[in-house]
Amino acid sequence: MSEQQPSDASSTDQAPTWTIADVERDTGIGKDTLRVWERRYGFPRPGRDAHGDRCYDTAQVQRLRLIRRLLDLGHRPGRVVGLPLTALQDLAARGPRVAPSTAPTPPHAQATVLAQWLGWLEADQGERVQQALRASLQQHGLAQTVQTLVAPMCVAVGEAWAQGRLGVYQEHLWTEVVQRTLREAIAALDAAPGTPKQAPRVLLTTTPGEPHLLGLLMAECFLALQGCERVVLGAQTPLIDIVTAARRLAVDVVGLSYSAYVGRRDLVDELVQLRTRLPDNVALWVGGAGAQRHGRALPPGVDVVAQAGDVARRVHAWRARHRAA
């Protein structure tokens, strides 16, 4: 996707400026939010064009792009909007900020939100769930939303289905809402100017018999936040094709997700085959309930990612090792 270009909002000979609509499209920050920040934090500081409408210079737009990225990494607007560019860049280099003290939904509030979302699913109101999910992404960022809402909601939906509260079609409705919304968020991150892709290059898939993709998608969110290159193959890729793709696409990591339904013997057998066939310099990361359940049985050279949020720590450790090498 090409970078959004500013409008020539002024009739003078000054450099082109950005309208508020331009800024909204480029950064994903809503017009109302921009106006609130202007009053509350003193930034952005728009000028006015010949018609009296707000206009922004390119430096402010670049700073807003970085602010949006920090919000996706879990920072609060009040802590970042007023910071100078150098401070914003330093924060962005540190990666996600996910700490209990800054979680947007403490346990009691989280339970209330999840109950409300489940109620909407029971009432076949998937569009309300999607609107709420998008609002959380806008307010709290991608990292916090995935860890404190999406991941526990996946568990809650599974439990509600097992209890007979939700039908299969309602579970599928939730899956579709999450996939569509998180892919939109990932695409926005990838399209943001000034965020070049970095190593490690990660191949994401599941093995035959494992159709569940939400865990892999949540992991991809954190890889995108870290600026990692990703090669997404979808579900149920044959083992030999995983190995072939890893070699031909020169990936650094193969990432797999296993749901709770996987058997111990099948899991171990697949991972032994993959670890044996993959190049030694290709890391093998596995996540999901199945991987955690059978973690002690896994062969050497296989790293368990306990939850999606741990992906960032794995990436930092991988980069540290390769810088030192």
| Domain annotation covers residue 2 | no
Nearest Cα residue to 128 out of 174, 59, 87: 174
Give the domain extent around 137.
100-191
Residue 80 placed within a domain: yes
Whether residues 132 and 152 fall in one domain: yes
Is the pLDDT at 191 greater than 80? The verdict is yes
Cβ atoms 9, 55 nearer than 8 A: yes
Whether residues 141 and 236 share a domain: the answer is no
Rg (CA), the chain: 22
Contacts of 101 (CB under 8 A, 6+ apart): none
User: Does a structural domain hold residue 315?
Assistant: yes
CA atoms within 13 A of residue 195's CA, in its CB half-sphere: 29
Predicted local distance difference test score (pLDDT) of residue 10: 41
Please report, for the domain that includes residue 276, its CATH number. Answer: 3.40.50.280
Structurally, the chain folds into a number of domains equal to 3
Q: What is the pTM of this model?
A: 0.71
Residues 70 and 113 in one domain: no
CA distances from 205 to 199, 208, 209, 211, 245 (A): 18, 10, 12, 10, 11
89 against 286, higher pLDDT = 286
Q: List 201's β-bridge partners, or say none.
A: 229
Last-in-domain residue among 168, 191, 214: 191
Q: Which residues pair with 218 in a beta bridge?
A: none
DSSP-based three-state secondary structure for 181: helix
DSSP-derived pairing of the beta strands 54-56 and 47-48: antiparallel
The pLDDT of residue 107 is above 80: no
Q: Please name which of 87, 105, 86 lies closest in space to residue 143, comparing C-alpha atoms.
A: 105
> Torsions phi, psi of 172, nearest 5?
-65, -35
The per-residue pLDDT for range 156-171, each reduced to its tens digit, is 888 788 677 888 899 9
Per the rule left: phi > 0, alpha: psi between -120 and 50, beta: everything else, 221 is alpha
Q: Are residues 302 and 276 in the same domain?
A: yes
Per the model's pLDDT, the better-predicted residue between 59 and 204 turns out to be 204
- What mean pLDDT is predicted for residues 35-48? 92
Same domain, 29 and 111: no
Residue 308 DSSP one-character state: G
Give the C-alpha separation, 309 to 43, whole Å.
Answer: 30
